[in-house]
Structure 1
Amino acid sequence: MAWFALDDGFDTHPKVRKAGNAAVGLFVRLGVHATKHLTEGHLDGDIVTAYGTAATIRKLIAVGMLHEAGHGCPRCPQPADGGYYIHDYLDYNKSRQQIEAAREAARKRQQRGRDTARLNRSERDSAVILNSNSRENDASFASNCGQFDPPFEGSTAGQGGPSRRDTHEGATVVPSPPLPSHNYDVADVSGGSAGSSAVDLDAYAPSPIDDDNWALTDGLRRWALSTFGPGLDLDYETAQFLDHFRGNGQRRKNWNTEWQKWIRRSAKFASERANRPPLRAVSGGYMSPEERGIF
C-alpha cells in the first residue's frame, strides 16, 4: 500500500486557497489515482476529465498544480499528448521503483516470519518425540539393570558373612524403601495416552498471530521512529513481540495496536533504565540501595 503525500501546510498554501475547494478535491483524487497505479504523477486525459469538470481542471492548470502537454514548468516532465502531470509529484511522493522495493521487502519479512513459525513448530514437535523416546529408554535401562545384579545367598545382605543384625535374636526386619517410580506421560499417536495424563498436542498448533499473517509494516516503523526516535531496536522488539504471542497462543483483535502498546512499554522501560542513578564507588565498596535512596 502506498500513500499520496500532502504536507501539513497544504491547506493554507496560496495555490490551494486560490484554486478553491472543488479544484483541490479534484487534485487530491488525481494524486491518489497516480499513487495507486504507480504512474509517478502522469495522468491520462480520460481520467482527469472523468474526475473533474472543465472549470476545476482549468483552475488547477492556472495555479500551477496540474500541467498539460507543452507546459513551461522547468522542474516537471512533459506528459503525453492529451495527458496531464501533477506538479512536483516526485518531490513529495515515492517513485514506482521505491514503492515496489518496499513491497518486496515487506513480502520477504512476512515470508521470513512464516518460515520461522514453521521451524519453531517443527522443533517443538521434534522435542516431543525425543522426550518420549528418552523416557522409553530410561524405563528400558532400569529394567535391564536388574539382569546383572549378583544374587544374595541366604539371609546375608551381600557381605562376606552374616552380620550381627542378621543373626541377632529378635531382630526386626525393616524392608528397604521402594524405589521411586516415574509416572511419565507418553503421547499416543492414535489420540489416547498412557500414564496419568497425555502430552497435549494442541499446544503445538499454529499460533494465532501467524494464522493472521501479521507482520511489521513500514507505516508502523515510521510511527515508532517519529514517536520514540531511533533508540529502540524495532526488529528485536518485534521478534520479542512475536515470541510472546506465539508462546501464549492468544489472539488480539488488532495486532498493530497491540504492537504499538508493546513498543510504548519498551520505550518506557528503556527510559527508566537510562534514568537510574549509577552506582558510586565508595571506600567500602559500592553504595547500597538505601544510600542511593531507592529504599
Structure 2
Amino acid sequence: MPWFKIDDKAHSHPKFLRAGNAALGLWLRCGSYSAQHITEGHVPAVVAQLYGSAPQAAKLVKAGLWHEHGHDCSRCPDPPAGDYMIHDFLEDGRNTSRAKHEAEKKKARDRQAKHREEQAAAAKSSEKADRIEEESSAKNSEIALEKSESSDSSAGQRHESRRDENVTGIHATTTPVPTTSFGGSGAAACDPGIRSYDTLGDLKRAIRDAGISGVSWNLQASQIERIRQVRDRIGIPAMVAMAVGNSRYRGAPSRASAWIDDWEGLEPETQTGPGVTRLPVVRQPASPQAARRNASRDFLDRLSNELAAGENP
C-alpha cells in the first residue's frame, strides 16, 4: 500500500508557514489521494474542489507547494488546465511512482508463486516419503514372516530330526516341507518376477503357470499369514486347483485376497503310505460366505454333469 510521506521538518518549512493551516489541510488530503490512486502528484480539479476551497488552492500555488497549468518548474510535470500538480511529489523517491508500484506488485506475485511451488514440492516429497515408508513397512512384514518361518523350520535341526515315517496322526505333516526358508524352491527364488524374500513365491508362480494373470498380490501381513497357514495345511496344488475353478466360473479376481475365504474352506485329502497314515486336520466350519460359494459351485458341477450325461446316453 503506497504512503504519502512528509518530511519531519515540514512543520517549520517557510512554504508551510506561508500557506497556513487551512491550506495545508487541503494539501495533505490531496497528497493522500494521489498516493492511493498512484497519480504521481496530479490533483484533478474536482478533487481539489471536494476537499478545499479556491482561495486555499491559490495559497498552495502561491507558496510553491502546488503548480497550475503552464508553470515554470522544471522538476514537475505540467497538469491539464484546471488541475494541479504537487511540487516535488516524486523527488528523491519520496513517494511511490506507478512504475515502482507495478514492480513491487510483480515482486509480490513472484514471491507468492515461488512459495506455492515450494509448498507443492514439499507436499510431493512428503507423499513420496509416505509411499516409500509404506513399501518399506510391507517389505519388513514379509521379511519378518520369512524369519519366523525360517526359525520354526530350523529349530532343533543341529542334529537329525526325531520325526520319521513312523510318526502318524495330527503331528504328521500333510505336505512336503518347502526346500527354502521363504517357502519356495531354488527355481522360484531365481524367478525375476518373484522377490527372494517372498514367502508366497511358490504359490504365485504356480497360479501364474496355471494361466491366471493380472491378479494383485498386495496383501496385508495378516492375509499373508492366513495364506501361509492354508498352504502348509493343504498344499499348493489344491489351492491352485481351487483358484483355476473359481476363475472359470467367475473370472480371475483383481486381488488374491478374494481367494482367502475359499482356500480356508478347503480340507486336505487323506493320504496313505507304507506304514504312515496322515489324518486330515479337524477344522472349524467355513464362513457363511464361503459355504454359499461352495454350495453354488457344487450345484453348477452337478448340473454340468447331468447335462453331459444327457448328451451322451
Q: Which entry has the higher C-alpha Rg, 1 or 2?
A: 2
Q: TM-score, normalised by structure 2?
A: 0.47
Q: TM-score, normalised by structure 1?
A: 0.49
